[in-house]
């Protein structure tokens, strides 16, 4: 895990143009805006939320914020688009750890790795002094994240035991979902009806899409 100073140097400068960021819908009503390079990481985090049915709230969930740290002069990691705060009213900052997040879900998020084996996320609830249970931050270098997320460390991946269906697909970008669909269709499986649903990207359909594609992918893997 990189230190805060190392993360600032690796992911800087702070407060980059809006074209460098992307907004992601999380399980529930929350939305976060993050550095585009972190999109696969936060989609993997979202897969953990889905797997444990932990629903975010729009009113108290967010990420990018061009601001300096409270009581200091350096920029917050939120200003780099590599940190997110989730449901902060029930996961407050303070001297005592208070959280409504399932321990197994937190462990799953902390277990996410890049393809070269580097840990992706740190959790504010692990801070030695004041606890920040709402807070998850990317703790690896951009070059590590560029290797990709190790899909076997995401809940719902076919090589793991899925707590719910759909988590694996929701960890993929739209482009990766389309690539997977093309791979499945190349085996003449009857999933053509998914084309438009994947193209329009309607969030309300993604859980059903995920299950059908995962079922198709399982059949594809069985043919190998």
- For residue 87, is pLDDT > 90? yes
- Encoded tokens for 195: 């084309």
Sign of CA dihedral 159, 43, 13, 4: negative
Q: Tell me the pLDDT band of 117, cut-offs 50, 70 and 90.
A: very high
Instruction: Write the pLDDT tens digit of every residue in 15-69.
Output: 999 999 999 999 999 999 999 999 999 999 999 999 999 999 999 999 999 999 8
Residue ranges of domains in the chain: 4-145, 173-223
* Span 202-207, average pLDDT: 43
CATH code for residues 4-145: 3.30.1380
183: three-class secondary structure by DSSP = helix
Q: What local confidence, expressed as pLDDT, does residue 161 receive?
A: 41
Q: What would the DSSP string read from start to end of 73-104?
A: SSBPGGGGT-EEE-STTTS-EESS----S-HH
Total length of the chain: 224
Taking a C-beta distance cutoff of 8 angstroms, is the pair 85, 135 a contact? Answer: yes
Between 163 and 142, the higher pLDDT residue: 142
Are 86 and 78 contacting, i.e. CB atoms less than 8 angstroms apart?
no
Higher pLDDT, 211 or 48: 48
pLDDT band (50, 70, 90) for residue 190: very low
What does the alpha-carbon distance between residue 125 and residue 172 come to, in Å, rounded to a whole number?
27
Q: What is the pTM of this model?
A: 0.73
The residue-averaged pLDDT of 185-191 equals 49
Exposure class string for 192-210: b at 16+ Cβ within 10 A, else e: eebeebbeeeeeeebbebb
Q: Which residues contact 72 (CB under 8 A, 6 or more apart)?
A: none
CA distance 91 to 106: 12
Please tell me whether the peptide bond between 13 and the residue prior to it is cis, using omega within 30 degrees of 0. Answer: yes
In the DSSP assignment, the letter for residue 140 is S
**What's the pLDDT score for residue 206?**
46
The confidence band for 173, taking pLDDT boundaries of 50, 70 and 90, is low
In the structure, what pLDDT confidence band is assigned to residue 198 with cuts at 50, 70 and 90?
very low
- Cβ atoms of 83 and 135 within 8 Å: the answer is yes
pLDDT confidence tier of residue 92, bands split at 50, 70 and 90? very high
């Amino acid at each position: 895990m990189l230190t805060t100073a190392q993360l600032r140097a690796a992911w800087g400068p702070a407060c980059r143009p809006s074209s460098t960021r992307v907004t992601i819908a999380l399980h529930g009503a929350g939305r976060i805006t993050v550095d585009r390079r972190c999109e696969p990481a936060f989609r993997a985090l979202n897969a953990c939320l889905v797997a444990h049915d932990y629903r975010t709230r729009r009113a108290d969930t967010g990420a990018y914020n061009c601001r300096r740290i409270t009581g200091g002069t350096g920029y917050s990691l939120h200003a780099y688009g590599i940190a997110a705060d989730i449901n902060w009213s029930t996961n407050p900052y303070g001297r005592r750890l208070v959280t409504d997040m399932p321990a197994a879900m937190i462990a799953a998020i902390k277990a996410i790795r890049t393809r070269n084996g580097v840990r992706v996320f740190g959790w504010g609830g692990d801070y030695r002094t004041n606890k920040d249970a709402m807070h998850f931050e990317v703790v690896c270098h951009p070059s590590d994240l560029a290797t990709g997320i190790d899909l076997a460390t995401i809940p719902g991946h076919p090589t793991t035991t899925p707590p719910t269906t759909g988590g694996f697909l929701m960890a993929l970008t739209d482009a990766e979902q389309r690539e997977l669909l093309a791979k499945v269709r190349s085996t003449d499986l009857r999933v053509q009806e998914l084309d438009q649903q994947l193209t329009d990207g309607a969030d309300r359909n993604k859980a059903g899409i995920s299950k059908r594609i995962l079922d198709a992918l399982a059949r594809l893997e069985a043919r190998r």
